[in-house]
Each structure stands twice: as C-alpha cells, then as structure tokens.
Structure 1
Amino acid sequence: MTDAVTPVASATQISDKLFIAPQPELGAFPDLAAAGFKGVISNRPGGEHPDQPSPAAEQQAAEAGGMAFHFIPVTATTITEADVRSFQKAVSESTGPVFAHCRSGIRSANLHAIGEVLDGRLARENLPALGGQWGVDLSVAAQWLAREAERRTRVKGFFDPRTFSVQYVVSDPATGQCAIIDPVLDFDEKSGSVATVNADAILRYVAEEKLTVQWILDTHPHADHFSAAHYLHEKTGAPTAIGAHVVDVQLLWQSIYNWPELKTDGSQWDHLFENGERFTIGSLDARVLFSPGHTLASITYVIGDAAFVHDTIFMPDSGTARADFPGGNAEQLWDSLQAILALPEETRIFTGHDYQPDGRAPRWESTVAEQKTRNAHLAGVGKSKFVALRKARDESLPMPKLILSALQVNIRGGRLPEPESNGHRYLKIPMGALGEVEWGQ
C-alpha cells in the first residue's frame, strides 16, 4: 500500500487497515479509491478552517469512489469514549484499508491509540515510543487516559439508533455498585412488537463487568421510547426511581387518556426523588436537581463529576430540548439550564438523545464549559431570546411518533398494559388529544 497514499504524501500506516494523514483535497479522493482504500474517516469538525471541504462534500467524493465515509469530528479537548469506539468500529467494519484524517492526522492517531490502551493491546507508558515510531505526538492520548484513570465515576453509554436514545450504566470502581439510567424497552410501532434487545445488552455489560445494580433511574417519563425500568427491576431486583413531580405528569396524562383508574401517586416506582435529595451509588455521592421545562417532572442526576440531563441539553451542535409537550415551558427550561450550567465547568454532561447532525457519529458527552461556549441555543444568548427561539423552533417540530404510545407505559414505570382475555396487550391512542397538525398537500 506504499504507493496507495501518494495523493497525500505524508500519510502514515498505523495498522494493517489504518492510514492517517492531513486533510486531503477533494481531487485526491478518486486516487484514494483507485489505490484500494475502502473507507474515509474525517475527524475534523466542519468549518474548522474556511479552506477545508465540508463533511457533505467529502462524503459525496468518497461515495462517488465507492468508499464508505464516516464523520467523527473531535478536537484535542473534546474527545470522548464514544468517539474512540466509533473510530474503532469504522476501521474494523471496513472491507479494506481506511484513510483517516484531521487537519494534520494527529487527532486520528490519538483516537486509535486511546482505543488500543482501553482494550489492553497497548500499555499507556509505551505511548511516547509509539508516537516516535509513527512520527506523531500522542500526548493528547496520554492526557486523556490519565484523566480517565483518575475518575471515580465510570460511565458507559449505550446508543439506540432506532430512537436516537442514550442509556447509561454509571458505576463505582471501588465497590462495583452501579445505576442504570434511562433504559430503553424496544417497541416497533408498525407491528406492535416489544423486545428487550437494549436492556439485555445492558445486563450483559453488568455481568461482564461484575457489577451489582443498586438503582434503576429514569430522568422523566419519556415521550419517544418505552422505558425498560420495570423489566430491569424484575431481572435485577434493584429499586426503581424517578423525580417526585412525576405525579403531576400522571395527573395530566390521566386526563388526556381519560384513565380514571390510573394511580397518580407515583407508587409505580420504589422511590420518588425530591429536588436536592442526596443518595449514593457505592461510594459515589449523588444528588438530584429538579429540571422542569421539557416536562413537568424532568430531573438531573449529578453523580460525582457527571450530570445526566437527558432531553434538557443536547450536544453543543444540537442545542436544547423542546418545551412544547403537555406540561412543557420554555421559561422554566431556561431556568433549569442555568442551574445545570452553574455546576463546575469540568462537570461532564451526558445527554439522553443524539440526532447526529451533519451525519456525524453519535456522541453524548460534553462538559459544562463546552456547553457554555459552544451550545447552539445557549452561547451568547439571554433568556428572552432563548425563549423566543425555543418557541419558534418548537412550532416547526412534529410530535414524536411514539408519544401517545410511550407515555401510557412510562407513567406506569415501564409497565405494559395487562393482557386482555385473548392474551394480547392493547395500547390506547386518544385521537386529536395533542392538537392539530400541518397536513401536506
């Protein structure tokens, strides 16, 4: 493959399948394809420099040459494990050599090196020697791994592409105790089928890591996926919990569903958290912030140096949650956002959804500092402007396709309707309950 990298003279072979290089020109893509490359990875955020091709232009050029394209944008200070795993997946699933680049190739090399250390194929102390061998500075990888080793709060994210949801296992390395946050119960709205693929993946991880589930936590009753909290409670025996204001959501939806027999006291969960309440996961200290605005009951779990915000804040390139669901309020959402952004700037923010703008790989971790400076809806914006922007944007958004199905399950802690006389379960869909929609021509 030596001649294969002539379009980018400084390309370096890192492994059997991986080559790293500086930013290629679009005109080089046909040469890459002709040389046998089967994939291109861009690790450069769009718009980093006015002269760089856009991700969309790179994708078009790559696919025109029969190469897969993967957009995994990072900076030296924003690399997360999700980025590392997406990079590994893009390389491992390629049918042939992969050409990875950023501005210089350094970020691509560091992503690869972090993955090698995480998976035990490379010792951290050998990074300087390997960097010398490649002619690449791997100090970003060394610093990232050092920070990760010092963390007391271990976070594993599970992305569900069907609902764009992120589920978490948060564990204490010192005790092996963990909490599961916002687990997804699989539901296919076309067939009415339910499955436990996501939840079982979480259980496998818990078993492989020899963890003990101490809590099963939801941040709010979800409108775009079913909760697997009840299923996981049955499997593990761990208590379920949600914010105390879930009773307000139950009352609201009891009326919408015309469901007088629904219990609206929150008794479907083992514990209801009050604002400011503190608890533990092993030796990790945790507390609850009441974060209304997206829903009446939304809460944030602050566990060690990590905050789990679900829909309240998305990744910086996606902005913030909508506030037009029944019980939502844009003014309250702003106040909740300010409370979260008042956490220490190094606090890690873990979101509950990622809609992959510009086709990038899924990401779900940022920091308070990053959100303050880069969030598309918050950076340099005051309350009045935010509220106006939020309301205007919400008016243009369709309702989630599962909202009417999901809420009747999720306001009961993830319990499905009881089987009827024929053995089948039935969901109840109130027609016209959420107002009019814009009908296409």
Structure 2
Amino acid sequence: MQPIRISEKLSIGAQPTEGEFALLASQGFKMVINARPDAEDAAQPGSATEQTAAEKAGMAYAFVPVTGAAITDADVFAFKSGLRQAAGPVFAHCKTGMRALTLHALGEVLDGHMEADDVVSFGSRHGFDLAGAKAWLERRATQKPQVKGFYDPRTFSIQYVVTDPATKRCAIIDPVLDFDEKSGATATTQADAILAYVGEQGLTVEWILDTHPHADHFSAAQYLKAQTGAQTAIGEQVVAVQKLWKGLYNWPQLATDGSQWDRLFAHGERFKIGSLDGSVLFSPGHTMASITYVIGDAGFVHDTLFMPDGGTARADFPGGSAKALWASIQAILALPDETRLFTGHDYQPGGRAPRWESTVGQQKQSNAHIVGHDEAAFVALREARDKTLSMPKLILHALQVNIRGGRLPEPESNGRRYLKIPLDALGGAAWDDAA
C-alpha cells in the first residue's frame, strides 16, 4: 500500500492492512477516510477494525462507504467535510483508491474548483479512469428538480431545498427550528443556513412543506414563512392529529381545522414549483397524517423509508400503524425504479457518514426491513422492534408546536413562552435508561 499524493491535504490509496495504520500515522497522516463498504471481500478488515486501528495510532477516522453507481451528493459532502475538519494530511482509501479519488474530484467540481470537462484528465494524471465521475456529473446536471439536503446532527434530520433550475423557484421541505430541551432555548441556526443558501443561489421560495407533524424536532415553517412570504402546506389528515393531541394536551382552545397552514393537501393533489409538477401521496403508518411529496423524479418520504441499511420508520406513535406503513411503502415502491427517494432522518448505521438519497430500485433490492418480507412478516418485525424503542425525547415538546404549523406558544403576561408537558400520556412506551 503506497499512498498517492493528490494535494497537500489529501493522499489516496488501496485498502491498508490492519498493521499499516501505524505506518500511515508515522508518515504524518492525521485522519483516515474509508470509502469502502464492509464485506466487499473476506480479506478486508472492516470499518470497526479500521477505526480501532486508526484511533490506536492517533488518527481520526471517518466512514463514507460508497459504490460507484450509487454515489450521492451526501457522500460527496461527507468526504469534503472529513477533509475540511481533519487536523492535518488525510489518507483516503477504498479497494484501489478509485472511489476515494472520485469523491474528491466530484467535490472539487461541485465547489467550483475544477471544471467537469477536466475530471477525466485529472484522474489520468494520477493513474485512474474517472469516466464514471464525468458521467455522474452529466446525470446530475440533467436531474429535475435539483435537491440540496441540510443535515441537522442534533436531531438526525434532513431538511431540503427543492429547486426548479429553469425558473429558480423552490420549496423548502421539513425545516428544523433549533431547540435545546435542557435550557429551553430556541434558535434559527438551521433555518438561517437554508435562507443563506436560497440567497446565494438567487432562489425564490414558493412553498414551505411539511410531510407530517414531527415528534423529534420543532418545525421552522412559521419562521421561514415570515422571512420569505411563501405558502405553508401539509397533508389534510393533520386535522386528525390535531384532534388526538388536543385531548392529550387538554387544550380546548386549539383549532383543529388545519387553519394554521395556508394549504392542506389531499391524496393525489397536484401543485407546481416553478415549471415542475408536484403531487401528493397519502403515506400513513408512521403518523395518521404522513404524506410523500413527488416532485419531478424525486420523492420526499421522511419517516416512511430510511436509507436501505436503516430500514423503515417506527409506527407506534398515537395513531400509527405498522400495517398502514407497509401499504404506504408499497405505494412508494410502485414509482419508477429510477425515482430518487429522499428520507427525513439518518441515524448513521455502523457509524457511517450521514446519507439521505436512494432510489426506488435500491430500496426494493436492499432495504433491511423489506427484502424477503411479506406484509405479515414486516408487521411482526416492525411491532416487535417498536416495543423496544423509547419515545423521542422531544415528542411532548414538539407536537404542541408542530400541530400549530411551527408556531411557538404565545407569550404569557410576563413575556415568556411556556410549553405544557402532560404526564403519563404515552403509557406503555419503553424507558430510555441512558443518563
């Protein structure tokens, strides 16, 4: 294994043995990025072994597993983030170094440091054929809509800006309002990052869309509406969620007609983002009100399907149903195989970097909760797993905000806002024993 120097910060190479990590550290490397999925062949050490060896040698470690055909913007972002955060030179590898160099080259193009037409010659200078990277860039340039994901590590959530490149009009999907339950503090850090991107790209926000009332983060829909003037929307079954939680919160003054949003979407309803067509799939199961937005060749599924290695979302919230979730998943998987699917959470299975984009075809081939299961087996798996899960730490905080379209409680006479937490309202949930 001989590192190939690409820049002052980056070298790439083939798979190192477990014993070669100390050698890499002695050569001055401060971080290892592993771009190789586990179990590609019996001889590779695997990510857990690599991480232990890297840290024992005093190096940081990042796991960005990719295959050439399935690289996404999230993978490129994770690779760039590793390089940016490293305290010194980085050694990145896969089996041969090809995928590591591909991720780097794609990042250079997306950052404007290299032209797409120069990718193949750049690869040739280092002994690699990057024709696949050039093809990836060409495919990406023709995709409609353009999708930018924003990952929030506090809640493992992904927020999206979905843009029509022809008109520069966009929608924001499932934005996060920052909340610290320990101090009660709120902030707009995540939403402001989205607004900064919108400004940098010269976009006009037409819609602020929620897929459902979220249980693990506050919605920034109202804040973004105030900043942009865009319409807010959610699925029409939100009224059923409002009625359920009105009782749990003992909240007689809560309006349960969905009037907190500008538009309530019915199943099959269509809308526009610039010149792009959007439509709505009713996708109950995780909640009674969950919907999927299908915009061009992209579907936004939030808490219905996770990445294939993460399986599917829980279905044990009030009004949830594993049987309904199975039916919703089948409707999503009936879309064309090439449809891009964007999930709303990623919990980084195996310690890999966050990912959020797959395709219908990939989900059908490898989703951990779907492949090899019929409805009965899925329901049994989902219900058994849900019994072991504690409730999200923010569910009782977030729902009273999110069933009002992201509005915080009104200030009381002293000028402060207060949340109301019902005790013993979610009986039967597993306890989280973590301190």
What does residue 312 of structure 1 align with? 304
Q: Is the partner of 2:306 in helix, strand or coil?
A: coil
1:95 shift after superposition: 1.8
Matched, 1:372 2:364: yes
Structure 2 counterpart of 1:21, one-letter code: G
Q: 2:122 aligned with 1:142, yes or no? A: no
Quote the residue 1:215 is aligned against: 207
> How far is the alpha carbon of 1:215 from its aligned partner?
0.3
Q: Match of 2:68, as an amino acid?
A: A
Instruction: Note the 1:125-204 alignment, pairs <5 A.
Output: 125-204=117-196
SS in 2 for 1:265: coil
Q: Secondary structure at 1:272's aligned position in 2?
A: strand
The answer for the alignment partner of 2:339 in structure 1 is: 347
Tell me which residue corresponds to 2:351. Answer: 359
1:82 and 2:74 aligned: yes
Determine which of 228, 232, 236 is the counterpart of 2:228.
Answer: 236
Looking at structure 1, the residues matched to 223 and 140 of structure 2 have their Cα atoms a distance apart, in angstroms, of 32
Equivalent residue letter for 2:422: P
The TM-score, its normalising length taken from structure 1, stands at 0.97
Matching residue's letter, 1:100 = A
In the TM superposition, 1:31-50 aligns within 5 A as: 31-50=23-42
Cα separation, 2, equivalents of 1:438 and 1:126:
55
Supply the distance in 2 between the matched residues of 1:128 and 1:425 (Cα, whole angstroms): 57
Q: How many residues align?
A: 433
Q: Does 1:261 align with 2:244?
A: no
> What residue number does 1:17 align with?
9
Specify the SS of the correspondent of 2:300: strand
Residue 116 of structure 1 deviates from its aligned partner by 1.1
SS of 2:171's equivalent?
A: strand
Match of 1:325 among 300, 308, 317: 317
Please tell me whether the aligned partners of residues 388 and 430 of structure 2 are also in contact (alpha carbons under 8 angstroms).
Answer: no
Q: What is the CA-CA distance between 1:92 and the residue it aligns to?
A: 2.1
Distance 1:128 1:330 in 2: 48
Q: Give 2:286's aligned amino acid.
A: H
Matching residue's letter, 1:425? R
Q: Deviations over 1:264-296 (max 9, x none)?
A: 000000000000000110011100000000000
Q: Output one character per residue of 1:341-398: Cα deviation in whole Å (capped at 9) or x when no partner.
A: 0000000000000001111111100000000011100112111100000000000000
CA displacement, residues 192-221 of structure 1 (integer Å, 9 cap, x when unaligned): 111100001101100110000000000000
Distance in 1 separating the partners of 2:429 and 2:107: 46
- Give secondary structure in 2 for the equivalent of 1:366: strand
Deviation digits for residues 117-156 of structure 1 (CA, Å, limit 9, x no counterpart): 1122211112222121110110221111010011121000
**Residue pair 2:391, 2:430 contacting (<8 A) in 1 also:** no
1:174, 1:114 → 2: CA distance?
Answer: 23
1:107 matched residue in structure 2: 99
Deviation string, structure 1 residues 401-436 (Cα, Å, up to 9, x no partner): 000000000000000000001111111111000004
The residue identity in structure 1 corresponding to 2:187 is A
Give the Cα separation in 2 of the matches to 1:232 and 1:131. 42
Residue in structure 2 matched with residue 334 of structure 1 by the alignment: 326
Aligned partners of 2:39 and 2:120: how far apart in 1?
Answer: 31
Aligned mates of 2:337, 2:428 — CA distance in 1:
42
Structure 2 counterpart of 1:283, from 263, 275, 294:
275
Task: For residue 438 of structure 1, report the CA deviation from its aligned partner.
Answer: 4.9
SS at match of 1:300: strand
Determine if contact 2:387/2:429 at 8 Å carries over to the other structure.
Answer: no
One-letter amino acid matched to 1:274: A
User: Secondary structure of the equivalent of 2:68?
Assistant: coil
Unaligned runs of 5+ in 1: 1-7
Partner of 1:206: 198
Pick closer, same or farther for the CA change 1:115–1:66 going to 2, 3 Å.
same
Q: Distance in 1 between the 2:413 and 2:134 partners?
A: 61
- Whether contact under 8 Å (2:389, 2:430) holds in the other structure is no
Percent of residue pairs identical: 66
Cα deviations by residue, 1:224-278 (Å, 9 ceiling, x for unpaired): 0000001111111111000000000001111111111110000000000000000
CA separation in 2, counterparts of 1:268 and 1:96? Answer: 50
SS in 1 for 2:133: helix
Gaps of 5+ in 2: none
**Alignment match of 1:420 (pick from 400, 403, 412):** 412
Q: Is the 8 A contact 2:387 2:430 kept in 1?
A: no
Any runs of at least 4 consecutive aligned residues in structure 1 with deviations exceeding 4 A, and if so which?
Answer: 437-441
Aligned residue number for residue 60 of structure 2:
68
